[in-house]
Homo-oligomer: A and B are copies of this chain.
Amino acid sequence: MRPNERAMNEDLQLLEANRRFYQALSDLDLAAMEEIWLHEPWVSCIHPGWPVLHGWPGVLESWQDIFANTVRQRVEPSQVAVRVFGEVGWVSCEEHVSIPTETGETVYVAVVNNVFVITDSGWKIILHHSSPMPIEMDESPPPQVH
């Protein structure tokens, strides 16, 4: 395989791994969620508005809690960008989360970075950092914040 083909192949596999993560989220499928993460004490996860979770046991527990408290949701990534550096893959995207309500549905958007490492079983997530997308985007960003 030529270098360009290899790179394209890696990108596609990384995209596919990221797609599986969002499929697991939409399906509230804990087994699929477990499958896509690396089970190490140093993996990390930040859900919007949550403290940092360090280590697979805590990350797993958070998905169990979220799935147990969610009846139905649809989570669609957009603006997906991928980049592979050797054994590490970086995906940035937006998450559009739709949750049905009695009167329609609630939609919110988060900005996300997912970091994967390649293993013998494919790309596995080591970091998920999701934070709320600002609702109003002003031309002049707020000062004294970084």
What is the copy number of this chain in the assembly? 2
The answer to whether B47 touches A131, judged by C-beta atoms less than 8 angstroms apart, is no
Q: For window 107-146 of chain A, which residues contact chain B by CB distance below 8 Å?
A: 111, 113, 115, 117, 126-127, 129-134, 137, 140-146
The answer to whether B48 touches A146, judged by C-beta atoms less than 8 angstroms apart, is yes
Given the complex, which residues of B lie within 8 Å of A85, measured CB to CB? 86-88, 117
Q: Count chain B CB atoms within 10 A of each CB in A44, A95, A144 and give the residue with the most.
A: A144
Q: Count chain B CB atoms within 10 A of each CB in A50, A144, A146 and give the residue with the most.
A: A146
A92 on the B face (CB < 8 A): yes
Q: How large is the interface on A (under 10, 10 to 19, 20 to 34, 35 or more residues)?
A: 35 or more
Of B68, B90, B143, the contact of A115 (CB 8 Å cutoff): B90
Which A-B residue pairs are the 8 nearest by beta carbons?
A: A69-B143, A131-B131, A86-B86, A88-B88, A85-B88, A47-B146, A70-B144, A52-B111
Q: Chain A residues in contact with chain B, CB under 8 A?
A: 25, 42, 44, 46-52, 54, 62-63, 65-66, 68-70, 73, 75, 79, 81, 83, 85-88, 90, 92, 94-95, 97, 99, 111, 113, 115, 117, 126-127, 129-134, 137, 140-146
